[in-house]
Amino acid sequence: MSAHDPKTPVPTPADDVQSGDAVHPGHPVTVDRYTVAARINHWITAVSLVLLALSGLALFTPRLFFLTGLFGGGQMTRILHPWIGVVLFCSFALLFVRFWRANLPKRVDAEWLAHSSDLLAGREEKMPEVGKYNAGQKFVFWSMSALILVLITSGIVMWDQYFYPYTTIEQKRIAILVHSATAIFAICVWIVHVYAAIWVKGTFSAMTRGNVTGGWAWRHHRKWLRELVGKPGSAPTGRGTHTPAE
């Protein structure tokens, strides 16, 4: 039983392990990664972000104005977009509360980033062991947090129906420019996020069924897996109060 971790220290109470995370031994091993609540929260955020991107792009460039048809026309798009933004903001705020601790930067993130070209080239064995999130995921998390904060702020400034009298026209102009540029970055971060989920096979089940295979966790988040296995109450005599495997 010592064969598996020759050099890894026994994990200390780790803030990487979040409530609901658990290992179920078996063949294959399955690892709980996201609770039902976290998944619902994620998908509300995801749907609203996609709707916002579509309606926002429709108003951003004439070439995509036809997308207003998805929302019931230009007037409806203009009405709905800000409200969907409010939904996104609230939903993302909950996600933030759920995930921020596990996304705090660690020393290993710098090392991971230094090896990111290895990752992209498929030499994942050269990557350092990371916890629940790698530096790339942390980048997505923190940049989305910042971008959404800027988007809701600038969005309110340009939400003329309710907030017209509170700002000057010049401030509204700045808000529109900031809002559109920020939205572009947010869409780019979203592309990175979605691409990573497509590229790294076995990832989607984390956000659909809530779990991943042990192999996936071993390959991509080994430190997190080790922490989970060594979790007090789960290591010596089974996983205590956690649900049985399969």
Using CB under 8 A, list all residues that contact another protein. Answer: 1, 3-5, 23-29, 58-62, 65, 68, 73-75, 77-78, 120-122, 124, 158, 160-161, 164, 169-170, 172-174, 176-177, 180-181, 184, 187-188, 191-192, 195, 198-202, 213-219, 225-226, 229-230, 234-236, 238-239
Structure tokens given for 214: 């042990």
Residue type, 121: A
Cβ(179)–Cβ(154) below 8 Å: yes
Compare residues 104 and 117 and give the one whose CB is closer to another protein. Answer: 117
Beta bridge partners of 213: 30
> Which residues, including other chains, have CB under 8 Å from residue 161's CB and lie 6 or more apart?
79, 82
Q: Is the peptide bond before 28 cis (omega within 30 degrees of 0)?
A: yes
Q: How many CB atoms lie within 10 A of CB 44?
A: 17
Compare residues 40 and 70 and give the one whose CB is closer to another protein. Answer: 70
Q: Is 193 among the catalytic positions?
A: yes
| Least separation in angstroms between CB 176 and another protein | 6
> Which residues, including other chains, have CB under 8 Å from residue 20's CB and lie 6 or more apart?
32, 34, 35, 38
| Least separation in angstroms between CB 229 and another protein | 4
> Which residues, including other chains, have CB under 8 Å from residue 84's CB and lie 6 or more apart?
48, 51, 52, 55
Compare residues 199 and 243 and give the one whose CB is closer to another protein. Answer: 199
Q: Which of 42, 81, 179, 193 is catalytic?
A: 193
| Least separation in angstroms between CB 113 and another protein | 17
| Least separation in angstroms between CB 69 and another protein | 12
Q: How many CB atoms lie within 10 A of CB 151?
A: 24
Compare residues 44 and 209 and give the one whose CB is closer to another protein. Answer: 209
Q: What is the DSSP letter of 10?
A: P
| Least separation in angstroms between CB 78 and another protein | 5
Structure tokens given for 103: 């996304």
Catalytic residues: 193
